[in-house]
Structure 1
Amino acid sequence: MKIPQFIKSNLLLKITSVNALVIGVRLVISFFIQRLYAQIVGEAGIYKIGQLQTLTQMLTSITTLGVFNGVVKYVAEHREDKEQLQKLFSSSFVFVTIGSVVASIVLFAFSGYWSDYLFSSKEFTYLIKLVAIIVPFIAVQRVFSGVVNGLSKYKKFAKIELVSYLLSSALTVYFLFQYNIDGVLVAIAITPAIQFSVMLFLFLKILKEYVQFNKIKFRLPLAKSLLAFSLMSFVSTILLGFVEIDIRDLLATKMTEADAGIWTAMTNISKNYMVFVGSVLTLYVIPKFASIYTQTDFTKELLSIYKTLLPIFGVGMLCIYIFRDFVIELIYPGFNEMSQLFKWQLLGDFIRLASIILAHQFLAKKMVRNFIFSEVLSLALFYGMSYYFVDSWGVEGVVLAHFIRYIIYFVVVLLLVYRYFHIQRKKEIPSENSTLQ
């Protein structure tokens, strides 16, 4: 079978190949921008950029009260059921309204506190106020993105991602040269507004087919179902955000802001290739796992995903490790301390990929307690080991903690997922016996 035809017959490979082009362009642009950061604002500037990016990432969950994965799941399941979709969008509208209003008020009213918390200075109070104003764009864009993912419109999603990234990158570079670190931070703050505008321009026509805006009501018919996703999102996104912020502060306090910038630079490289996974998981894995009900079918699908994605990532990560010094010189010239971090970061990311694919069963089947337990355990391990290892290993201790954490996380998630199927089989046995009787 020819490779092009093989790709056409495999939805996961189709999504992967389309995303590969977008991610390839993003990587080239990101590397260029990261190099400019390294040359113009240095390690301390990258530390500040990392703090703001973590805040905006947290806000994607806070402002929507974490309904993104719920939107993906229910749009995928009820795309032909207009009544259920209307209930979903009405409930989501309430969540977004509450989340956005509360987040905006808290950020604006306590902007001095948040500036001091993130940057150890009240110098960036103006920036926090700007983020507070942008909050509604973050929320609405996130929900609309959930609709795109739920419909598996992977080509449209790729186009939206690419156009918005090109525009925001151009703005970032312009502001960097004009206003240095302040300009970069402002560009990052207003990027969600650009993403929202692109989303509307490219997706509004399709969106109207599924969302009847004039019939949206301030009601919560699916509150209970979406609250489960809110709780899971709070644990995975918001707690993770605070952990990342505190670890940067730990490195800046116990060592220097430059060391915090070195770790942030390493995680930036990691996030650039891991972002490729995120779109594949939401466009393919969640809808696929949601439609599977037996252990046999799940195992078959899981192994198929592993055989498709893990070799690709394994080869890519091996290449990054072999040419790590070249990568550092290309993207972060002068950040030579990063070289020793690659081994643990890449090994941790490979196990992380295998783990999060498996853990998406928790989202697909709304296994709230299992999800929360595994995520809290993972974050606690990372946070605790980072604090412990930093004293002896320095910055390398944080990436070592990252590696160990995901080994334990993978084992725990594997046990929990197959425990779920074991429980489901036990539930089915009595009903089968009663049928025979």
Structure 2
Amino acid sequence: MKIPQSIRGNLLLKMTSLNAGVIVVRLVISFFIQRMLALMVGEAGIAKIGSLRNLLEILSSFASVGIFSGIVKYVAEYKEDKEQLQKLFSTTFVFTVFGTLLVSLVLFFGADYLSNTIFDSPDYIYLIKLLAVIVPFISMYRVFNGIVNGLSRYKKLAGIDLFSYILSAILTVVLLLTNNIDGALVAIAITPALQFSVLLFIFVKVLREYVQFSKLTFKIPLAKELLAFSLMSFFSTVLLNYVEIDIRVMIQKRITMADAGIWTAMTNISKNYMVFSSAIFTLYVLPKFAGIHNKTDFKVELFNVYKTLLPLFGVGMLLIYFLRDYVIQIIYPDFHAMGPLFKWQLLGDFVRLAAIVLVYQFLAKKMVRNFIFSEIISLALFYILSYYLAGIYGVEGVVMAHFIRYVLYFFVVSFLVFRYFKKQKSKS
């Protein structure tokens, strides 16, 4: 049977199918590791791992000064303009040096405070100080990953993602078996160094072709342009992960530590399949939206993304929901209280997917105020609703808050995006 040209020529579908294979392998490995973690460290250990992952996301944004999306956008735009690229990379160099030094110093000298705040214990000071050493790898990986994303080398990126994930999984298993929860935490902490090493090994020739390291200067000619993305990253990454840490601590104190672990386990499952969408959005949606300047073309591309991705995600989420008891039994044995959380988490993630596609228009057009406003609305809704509904429905109230938040968020983002085109039309 001959495949229609419209399908064979669909770049988004090609990226989707390629990433689908990578994600399936990642999911299988992740299920195996999550099961080991659940059996060996229990709900309390899962909660600690969740907090560490949130901290790593915050460090990733601060260490690279939140300019990842800016690098993707401008590399995609200037890849044929060596002079502009050099300005971009010089600015990036200054920003990351500053961000890396600041974050490393804060982690090293604030290790006691951060250990007690994030893990509610002084036992993890060593882990925070280890992260202070890992921060340079976090920032360099983020920057180089942004360059490769901007060049749309999606096939090699999929391979890098898979290979580095397998290495990280092996390290996690080995250290978990030898040192239990401490080993697992150390493995997760040093994963960015592994990711950076793999990316550098595979893409060193490409990076040398586009980045003239000998000509980097301590100047910031594109500071204004990149700082807009720094501001957006602060609200989308830093505050989001801070809110998640705070909500996890709230669940521990107001309900139980076990419930904090159960909620973290639910979000782990969610993040495993949502990582698929973020890879596609960065590689395809952001560069596409950056080149669209009228409402008609935007609606055509938006419809193309929706008709390609939403049915695939919808079917996948339905399968997860109907097989949820098996998923719990396979991945998180004895975490039976997770069952009622699935419907709210999956519904919320589906609406979130539709909303995030629209949000990439903010990034593509540097609509900073719109982006910040929508993120503040989203985080405030999640924070307030979580605290309120957790008091009524327990941990299920937190995932109910997740769903309600994204329904309202979708309407806010839709209004802001199409208002932008209306304003553009009135100016012309």
With the shorter chain as reference, the TM-score category is over 0.9
Structure 1 position 13 matched with structure 2 position 13:
yes
Match of 1:226 in 2: 226
Q: 1:301 to 1:262 in 2, by over 3 A?
A: same
TM-score normalised to structure 2 length? 0.99
Match of 2:170 in 1: 170
Match of 1:422 in 2: 422
Structure 1 position 140 matched with structure 2 position 149:
no
Match of 1:401 in 2: 401
Aligned counterparts of 1:234 and 1:186: Cα–Cα separation in 2: 26
Aligned counterparts of 1:359 and 1:50: Cα–Cα separation in 2: 25
Q: 1:146 to 1:183 in 2, by over 3 A?
A: same
Aligned counterparts of 2:226 and 2:8: Cα–Cα separation in 1: 34
**2:244 partner letter:** E
Match of 2:362 in 1: 362
Which residues of 2 match residues 243-322 of structure 1 at below 5 A?
243-322=243-322
Aligned counterparts of 2:73 and 2:207: Cα–Cα separation in 1: 16
Aligned counterparts of 1:338 and 1:375: Cα–Cα separation in 2: 27
Aligned counterparts of 1:343 and 1:378: Cα–Cα separation in 2: 20
Q: Deviations over 1:109-144 (max 9, x none)?
A: 010000001110100000000001000000000000
Aligned counterparts of 2:409 and 2:54: Cα–Cα separation in 1: 22
Match of 2:376 in 1: 376
Match of 2:26 in 1: 26
Match of 2:204 in 1: 204
Q: 1:303 to 1:137 in 2, by over 3 A?
A: same
* Secondary structure, aligned partner of 1:293: coil
Q: 1:395: Cα distance to partner?
A: 0.4
Match of 1:91 in 2: 91
Aligned counterparts of 1:170 and 1:343: Cα–Cα separation in 2: 32
Aligned counterparts of 1:60 and 1:126: Cα–Cα separation in 2: 19
Could you tell me which runs of 5 or more consecutive residues in structure 2 were left unpaired when the two chains were aligned: none
Match of 2:76 in 1: 76
Aligned counterparts of 1:8 and 1:144: Cα–Cα separation in 2: 30
Q: 1:8: Cα distance to partner?
A: 3.4
Aligned counterparts of 1:200 and 1:243: Cα–Cα separation in 2: 33
Could you tell me which runs of 5 or more consecutive residues in structure 1 were left unpaired when the two chains were aligned: 429-437
Aligned counterparts of 1:51 and 1:345: Cα–Cα separation in 2: 19
Aligned counterparts of 2:4 and 2:393: Cα–Cα separation in 1: 47
Which residues of 2 match residues 98-137 of structure 1 at below 5 A?
98-137=98-137
Aligned counterparts of 2:192 and 2:3: Cα–Cα separation in 1: 38
Q: 1:60: Cα distance to partner?
A: 1.0
Task: Tell me whether 13-22 or 129-138 shows the greater mean CA deviation.
Answer: 13-22
**2:359 partner letter:** A
Q: Deviations over 1:160-182 (max 9, x none)?
A: 10110010110000000000000
Aligned counterparts of 2:23 and 2:5: Cα–Cα separation in 1: 22
Q: Deviations over 1:3-28 (max 9, x none)?
A: 48554311101111111111111000
Match of 1:65 in 2: 65
Aligned counterparts of 1:182 and 1:310: Cα–Cα separation in 2: 39
Match of 2:345 in 1: 345
* Secondary structure, aligned partner of 2:198: helix
* Secondary structure, aligned partner of 1:41: helix
Q: Deviations over 1:287-309 (max 9, x none)?
A: 00000000000001001100000
* Secondary structure, aligned partner of 1:221: coil
What is the CA RMSD across the aligned residues, in angstroms? 0.9
Q: 1:219 to 1:349 in 2, by over 3 A?
A: same
Aligned counterparts of 2:28 and 2:351: Cα–Cα separation in 1: 25
Q: 1:48: Cα distance to partner?
A: 0.3
**1:334 partner letter:** D
**1:161 partner letter:** D
Q: Percent identity?
A: 65
Aligned counterparts of 1:83 and 1:164: Cα–Cα separation in 2: 32
Match of 1:150 in 2: 150
Match of 1:435 in 2: none
Structure 1 position 237 matched with structure 2 position 207:
no
**2:363 partner letter:** L
Structure 1 position 327 matched with structure 2 position 327:
yes
**1:279 partner letter:** A
* Secondary structure, aligned partner of 1:2: coil
Aligned counterparts of 1:242 and 1:359: Cα–Cα separation in 2: 21
Q: 1:207: Cα distance to partner?
A: 1.0
Which residues of 2 match residues 176-187 of structure 1 at below 5 A?
176-187=176-187
Aligned counterparts of 1:364 and 1:6: Cα–Cα separation in 2: 26
Match of 1:56 in 2: 56
Aligned length: 428
Aligned counterparts of 1:413 and 1:119: Cα–Cα separation in 2: 34
Q: 1:256: Cα distance to partner?
A: 1.3
**1:290 partner letter:** A
Q: Deviations over 1:377-404 (max 9, x none)?
A: 0000000000001111000000000000
**1:358 partner letter:** L
**1:192 partner letter:** P
Q: 1:229: Cα distance to partner?
A: 0.2
* Secondary structure, aligned partner of 2:248: helix
Match of 1:390 in 2: 390
